[in-house]
Each structure stands twice: as structure tokens, then as C-alpha cells.
Amino acid sequence: MADELELLRRANPVPAGETRYQDRPLDHHAERRLNQLLHGEQGSRRSRRSRQARRWAWSLATTAVVAAIALTLLLSGTTTTPAVAAPRPLVVEAGSAAVPLDEVAERAAASGAALPLRQGTHVQSWSLSMTSGPGARPPITLPEERIVRWKADGSHTELVVATDPRHPGRPVITDSDDTPRTVEDGHVLSRQSYPPSWSDAPPRARPPHNAARLRAYLDEIDTTGTLRTPELLDAMAELLDHWTLGSRESAALARVLADAPGLRPVGEVTDRLGREGQAYVYDDTEHSVRRMLILDPATGAVLGLEDTVTRNDPEYGLEAGDVMSYSAWMR
């Protein structure tokens, strides 16, 4: 119970000085945060870690955990070298045609595809952990695969596996349960079942397939108050960590992304799962990060999102070109 109380205190969904909730139900924002704490805290921990890393918000606690990872690697040893190196940025195919987002949105709307919307997700992710200060060790990449499936009664299951498709069969590093260690490829990190949970607030609420309504939906996911392109990409990732979009929803999302300032087409790429797609780049100069969005050019479906550091940071052992995080969504 102590852990749950501490989560509630930190989140503070209903401030003490707030009078709107006296003898009244919570509004959808407070209800959404409360539901996340009660039912989705563990399942969303890794996606939050990636998005926090994109903002370079590293705490002393994170530093301590990563130091423990490095120490564990030094002391434990392994007969097979674990896959710890950060992936290199995806490379756009030289001379490939860059398809504008407007055109992708039009293709998706006219495709006639009928893939259904499905609650739940299947995502392969890589997130970079690092130490700072004197004696800092090289950054370490933590690869995971997560499958979330919902049932008709509102309950759901979550399976998290340590695996890196770039290095099949090799041990990988994990920090699950705050116990940094190397594990075998395919090792089950967690298998959880959650009781029924209903919510009418995004991202739990069913996403619309109308572009204007989907934009408003994504705006509700974001808590910063200003849905600029970086926040839009974060809200999109949060949506995809809860839902596998159908054809109509993907077409609507492509239209929303087509209107995002600064998101420019750069050409064809092959993602880390071997899928061909079109790449769109946003240069987040505020956080020294290059964000690459990868879409299926025929359906508008989001295949992946890559964040790459654009400047050296000796304090954390980062070099320009290091991949900070990467997510690859699958059906």
C-alpha cells in the first residue's frame, strides 16, 4: 500500500486547494491519471522512460540505476557478449523519392483498406540509459518487446520480453524490477494480468477516425498545454502504446501529421524490423534531438519513431548520432 500511496502523492490528481471536486466526480483528466496509476503504471513505465529520455530529463535515481547496470556487467561477466551498443541511426536510401505527407494522407484515405482498430499494442523498443560525471561509462541500450492484449470484459494482459532483433540469440541487458542484469534473448521480464478497467479519456478511450477529432484526442493526451510537433509525436506514441490503429484511424493520423509544422519528408528507409517505409524528420533544436517518423506510404500506418542525439555531450558519454530511443510498432 505504501508504494501506491506514494504514487498518488506524486501524481496529485486532485490538489488540496482545488474546489471543483468537492462532492463531485473527477473530471476526465483526473480520472485518466488515476486509472493510469491504479491499472497502467507498470505497463506504461517503459514508454514514459523513453519519452523522458527524449527531453533529457535524467534524474539522480536514473543515474544510480545505470551505474548499477554497468557495475553488474563488470562483476558478473558472461560467456556471450551482450548486445549493449546503441543502434546507429537509420539511413535514408540515397536517391530515393521523398513522398510528401499530404500525398501519404491522400493515399491512405483512398486505399480502401479495411484493417480493424484493435485495443492493445505490439511494440519493439530500444531506450538508452547513461551515467554522468567523472568515470561515467558508455551509454547502454535496453531492448524490449511488449505485447498488450485486451479482452471483451475490459481486462487486459501484458507480456514484456527482453530481446533485440538486431542480435538474435545473444544475451541482452534489462533493468526490470530494478534489478540490472543480463538475461538470455527471449527472457520473459514480466507477464501481468489486469482486472477490468474502463475509461472515457484518451489514450484509453477509443480513438476517432476523423482527423479533426483525432487531433483533439491527441491534444487531450498531452499535458503540456501546447501541442507543438514534438508534443504531437509524443502523444502519437502514447496512442500507439495503447491501440493498434485500423485503416481509417491510420489515414486520419496521417492527415494530422501532414499539418505538423517542421515535419519534412526525406526519402525511403528500411526500419529495424526490415520493413520499407517513408521517413519524415523533425529537428528538435531545443533538446538537440533529431526525430525520425517512419510511415507506410500506402496506408499511412506508423511503423516507427527514432530519436537521435545531434550534439556531443561528454558528461553522459553521448556522441552526435547516438540513437536515444526507438520504437517499432507491429500489428
**pLDDT of 9:** 55
How far apart CA 49 and CA 58 sit, in angstroms, is 10
Alpha helices in 20-59 (DSSP H): 28-35, 41-54
**pLDDT of 223:** 82
Query: Quick one: CA dihedral 51, 56, 58, 62, positive or negative?
Result: positive
**pLDDT of 143:** 93
Quickly state the pLDDT bin for 69 (edges 50, 70, 90): very low
How far apart CA 318 and CA 68 sit, in angstroms, is 19
How far apart CA 228 and CA 195 sit, in angstroms, is 35
**pLDDT of 47:** 44
**pLDDT of 75:** 36
Average pLDDT over residues 105-118: 93
pTM for this prediction: 0.77
Please check the confidence at residue 222 and state whether its pLDDT lies above 80.
Answer: yes
Lowest average pLDDT, out of 10-24, 141-155, 203-217, goes to 10-24
Alpha helices in 36-100 (DSSP H): 41-54, 60-76
Quickly state the pLDDT bin for 162 (edges 50, 70, 90): very high
Burial (CB count within 10 angstroms: exposed 0-12, middle 13-18, buried 19+), residue 23: exposed
- One-letter amino acid of 106: E
Please check the confidence at residue 331 and state whether its pLDDT lies above 80.
Answer: yes
Average pLDDT over residues 238-253: 97
The mean of the pLDDT values for the chain is 80
For residues 292-310, one letter each, b for 16 or more C-beta atoms within 10 angstroms of the residue's C-beta and e for the rest, the string is bbbbbbebbbbbbbbbbbe
Q: Would you kindly state where each structural domain of the chain is located, as residue ranges?
A: 2-330
C-beta separation of 229 from 262 below 8 A: yes
Please check the confidence at residue 91 and state whether its pLDDT lies above 90.
Answer: yes
Residues of the chain above pLDDT 90, percent: 57
pLDDT in tens, 18-53: 444 444 444 444 544 454 454 444 444 444 444 444
DSSP letter string over 266-320?
EEEEE-TTS-EEEEEEEEETTTTEEEEEEE-TTT--EEEEEEEE-S-BGGGTB-T
